[in-house]
């Protein structure tokens, strides 16, 4: 799997599909990215498999519980 991957997910605020560029080189991480449609902040949790074969993304509003 390449260290950069582009994926499409739905914004947790507006529900519109957004494209994300996921950087797997840093391993598992959490970061905030603004929605390209509604500009609201999205809390992104990225879990990367140890051998970089797969990853999981969780998108939430900043005030949503984990």
27-61 burial by CB neighbour count: b if 16+ within 10 A, else e?
eeeeeeeebeeeeeebbbebebeeeeeebeeebee
Residue 66 lies in a domain: no
Residue 29 lies in a domain: yes
Residue 57 lies in a domain: yes
Query: What does the block give as tokens for 29?
Result: 């991480």
Range of the domain at 51: 4-61
Residue 35 has pLDDT above 70, yes or no: yes
Number of domains in the chain: 1
Residue 20 has pLDDT above 70, yes or no: yes
Residue 65 has pLDDT above 80, yes or no: no
In this prediction, residues 45-65 reach a mean pLDDT of 89
Query: What does the block give as tokens for 15?
Result: 């529900």
Q: How many helices (H) and strands (E) does the chain have?
A: 0, 5
With a pLDDT cut of 70, the percent of the chain lying above it is 95
**pLDDT band for position 66 (cuts 50, 70, 90):** low
Report how far residue 1's alpha carbon sits from residue 35's, in angstroms, rounded to the nearest whole number.
25
pTM for the complete prediction? Answer: 0.85
């Amino acid at each position: 799997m390449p260290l950069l991957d582009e994926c499409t997910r739905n914004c947790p605020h507006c529900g519109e599909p957004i494209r994300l560029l996921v950087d797997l080189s840093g391993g598992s991480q959490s970061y905030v990215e603004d929605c390209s449609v509604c500009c609201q902040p999205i809390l992104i949790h990225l879990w990367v498999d140890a051998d970089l074969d797969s990853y999981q993304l969780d998108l939430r509003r900043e005030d949503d519980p984990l």
